[in-house]
Chains A and B, each alone.
Chain A
């Protein structure tokens, strides 16, 4: 599976848009890009998944360029409650065996 690289940490202020970029240079044709969110003392929670172009749900948007070697998770108008660790994963038909990196720790300040 493709290795992912993302920033260790990011800081933001309430009301700002936050973009977290993940690089996955060795992504394969059948791989999907998936993002999870983890609040302190909780298990991770699925946020969004995409294959190419743009995907949007009630929580976030995911932008994937044509070459698919990177992706950007966009959180609109963050609040303090968006403070969490965000994990980017590349999946190929998961059988429950996810491989997590260290993720990006997002800190939202008032």
Chain B
């Protein structure tokens, strides 16, 4: 199993540009989440999903959209990038009834 994969690893955007961060998992996990981590800080939950077609907001959802059309994929869309969205983004998944979340390697995003 590849586990949780994220692409790209690095990305530089200009203010106002849009882009999609990709996340995929091959463990057939029902639950998937997106977090952001700013320097020296803990992770903050952006959006999460408990299954295909179901998403919900986390602590810091503004400026981000998500959709879950399949169990495997959970893309995160930045609609109009802002410098405040410069961060490292982590995707995670967990099986229903379990508490051990598996995290991807992260995407480091810089918005100029």
Contacts and interface: CB of A to CB of B under 8 A. Distances in A.
Interface of A: 32, 34, 36, 41-46, 49, 85, 87, 91, 94-103
Given A43-B90, A44-B43, A96 B103 contact: no
Interface in B67-102: 90, 92-94, 99-102
B93 to A, nearest CB: 7
Given A44-B43, A87-B42, A98 B103 contact: no
B44 A96 contact: no
A43 B99 contact: no
B16 interface: no
State the main secondary structure of chain B at its contact with A: strand
A94 B94 contact: yes
A49 B41 contact: no
A96 B42 contact: no
B104 A43 contact: yes
B92 A95 contact: no
A94 B56 CA distance: 14
Given A43-B90, A43-B105, A97 B58 contact: yes
Given A43-B92, A101-B42, A103-B42, A95 B48 contact: yes
Contact of A99 (B41, B50, B59): B59
Contacts of A85: 42
Contacts of B44: 100
B100 to A, nearest CB: 4
Given A43-B90, A102-B41, A102-B42, A96 B105 contact: no
